Amino acid sequence: MPPNITALNTTRARTYVFRLPLFTRVVIIAIVGFWLAGLQSIVDIQQWGALIPDEMGLATLYRMNTFPFIHLNIFHAVMNILALTPLMERFEAEYGTLNCLALFFGPLTTIPAFLYIGLEKFVFGNNVAVMGASMWVFLLLGVEAVKTYKVNPNFVIGTYSIPTWTTPIGVLFAMAVLVPSSSFWGHAAGLVIGYGAGLGYVKFLAPPEKILRWIEGKLNLLGRLPHYVSIDQKTYGRFGVLPSNNTPAAASPGVALGLVGSTQRLGP
């Protein structure tokens, strides 16, 4: 590759990273931090923070918020970061940093986690532990698929017209085939809630905008926190407010690496 093209690509990558919004940065740092913490042998970070159906109770509800940050190894962590970053960055730019904090440490994580535990424990009778950010990836793919469908309902392959909202389903089954150790039901739980969020069925769980504005103003978050995205800086608005027909639709980013069992590595 010519040096000028290499320099251009490096500059673009550096610019993209430097422009990432605050919550997305925090998520990336947390994933890396938990991986580093897992290098020590005093505390088993994976056992402590993974989503394990039989280990769930009042004292271990924290697992519903820790499992997306914990990964089996550096490869697992890096691949999930690459898959998650563009999706999370778009979501935060649209809904704001404070909204992301409330949603991803609330209903957009706990609801698919409860759904997975219910399926795994009470339907299948298993106790497969899962960890990794790919449940978020499939959730956000579901949100993006619904938005894309509103603007561009179909894409054509040969003589077949395929609804664009089905794209994440294809990714889901492709992951199950290519990476048998990944958690199909963990991914499916995230995708179902992502579709619901994109369609506006969980908008009542979003924090009231009036309260978010009050918190932002009271704490002067926009002035104090670099890369903070305020309510007024959002691209489109609240849940259920989708781009208009003359707004370009963005293609869903690449394949996500999956949620994995506690004793298996995820990878292509």
187 belongs to the catalytic site: yes
Q: Which of 145, 134, 127 is nearest to 184 (CA)?
A: 134
Q: Give, rounded to a whole angstrom, the gap between the first and last alpha carbons of the chain.
A: 26
134 belongs to the catalytic site: yes
What distance in Å separates the CA atoms of residue 96 and residue 212, rounded to the nearest whole number?
A: 10
Which residue in the list 182, 183, 187, 230 is annotated as catalytic?
Answer: 187
Which residue in the list 134, 182, 183, 230 is annotated as catalytic?
Answer: 134
| Amino acid letter for position 95 | Y
Helices (H), the chain: 3-18, 22-37, 45-49, 63-66, 74-95, 97-104, 107-117, 134-151, 167-178, 184-199, 209-219, 221-224
What distance in Å separates the CA atoms of residue 259 and residue 182, rounded to the nearest whole number?
A: 5
Q: What distances in angstroms separate CA 82 from CA 4, 85, 198, one per listed residue?
A: 25, 6, 22
Residues marked active site are found at 134, 187
